[in-house]
Amino acid sequence: MKRLWWMGPQRPVPAHPYRDTAILYGALAGIVVIFAAATGYHDLVKAVIVAVVVFVGATAYSWWYWYDRIKKQQRGDIDRRTRN
């Protein structure tokens, strides 16, 4: 039986998942603001507000995900299936 990709083993938790997540989403938010400024978007304040809101939401969700995954790993609940 062929396994679907989400049924395979999970990658290991990175050494600094919270920091890496914040850096990634911070860089993406910065790119959005730079792109808005470079294209002459007339309401740069709105672009900054949207970038900050998306940054906070995405970072909060990712931090919750990593916290949950790390706790499951510590309890031994992570599924350790191997690919066939």
**Which pLDDT value is given to residue 8?**
61
CA 71 to chain centre: 18
| Inside any domain, residue 5 | no
Residue 81 counted as domain residue: no
In angstroms, what is the C-alpha Rg of the chain? 18
Q: What tens digit of pLDDT does each residue of 33-84 get?
A: 999 999 988 899 999 999 999 999 999 999 999 999 999 888 887 655 444 4
Question: Would you say how long the chain is, in residues?
Answer: 84
How many domains are contained in the chain? Answer: 1
Q: Is residue 8 part of a domain?
A: no
Q: Is residue 7 a part of any domain in this protein?
A: no
Q: Is residue 38 part of a domain?
A: yes
Domain that holds residue 58: 16-75
Between 53 and 12, the more confident residue is 53
Residue 80 within a domain: no
Q: Are the C-beta atoms of residues 4 and 76 closer than 8 Å to each other?
A: no
pLDDT score for 5: 61
